[in-house]
Structure 1
Amino acid sequence: MELELLDENERKLNNLTLAVYILQAVSLLVGVTGIVAVIINYVKRDDVRGTLYESHFEWQIRTFWLALLGYVIGAVLTWLLVGFVILFAVWVWYIYRVVKGFLYFNDRKPLPLQ
């Protein structure tokens, strides 16, 4: 197995990155786990610098903040009804970001930060 070749520190970072992706996915049903995920990202950010996981942490952080912004805008605009469309679009975009990030993580590839 490829994970057997990882040293102990890299294995911890690998597991932590996976846990954050899981927390982000669960946040689609239980929103508070997304907050827990981004707190983990910020607390452990220095530990992943210079590793494969750095791009994943940046991706996860950016996903959280952009989704939060989109949800706030959508919520404010619900009285115009267009907010419901925005909320749905942000929800779909969030799923896309979590899935794409996980697939890159699973392939042990860094994410292009765009």
Structure 2
Amino acid sequence: MNENLSLNALPAEKLESLKQLTLIVYILQALGFMTVITSVVAIIVNYIKREETEGTIYASHFTWQIRTFWWSLLWGALSVPLMLIGVGVVTMAIDVIWVIYRLVKGILNWNDNKPMPV
């Protein structure tokens, strides 16, 4: 494990709090499929708490979550006008599958106490 991603840099209580917060953000992102507002809340939490995760494995998870949000938003926004020519449904479906993949991979790595590739 990279020394910058040490689990021992902070007190155990703080690390546990960051771990729980990371899972909460993954859950909020997943709930974004039903109500977009939870995705917005998730990205706000990512940016507000990001600095606190520096030097832990959760920093990589926050970067992963932030990138997932912005890339998904971009592809979702591009898919809407593409629906006029019939390919928007395909690009939107690919976007949804990609987000599901990122959520699952993130939660699995979170569960195994592994950082995300960034």
TM surpasses 0.5: yes
CA deviations 1:6-48 (Å, max 9, x no partner) are 7111111011001000001111111111111010000001000
Matches within 5 A, 1:74-113: 74-113=79-118
Counterpart in the other structure of 2:28: 23
Counterpart of 1:63, as a letter, is T
In 2: Cα distance, 1:76 partner to 1:12 partner? 41
In 2: Cα distance, 1:108 partner to 1:48 partner? 14
Counterpart of 1:110, as a letter, is P
RMSD between superposed Cα atoms in Å? 0.9
In 2: Cα distance, 1:14 partner to 1:105 partner? 8
Matches within 5 A, 1:1-114: 7-113=12-118
Q: How high is the sequence identity, in percent, across the aligned residues? A: 47
Give the SS at the match of 1:44: helix
In 2: Cα distance, 1:64 partner to 1:11 partner? 24
Structure 1 residue ranges (4+ consecutive) displaced by more than 6 angstroms after TM superposition: none
> How many pairs were matched up?
108
In 2: Cα distance, 1:30 partner to 1:9 partner? 30
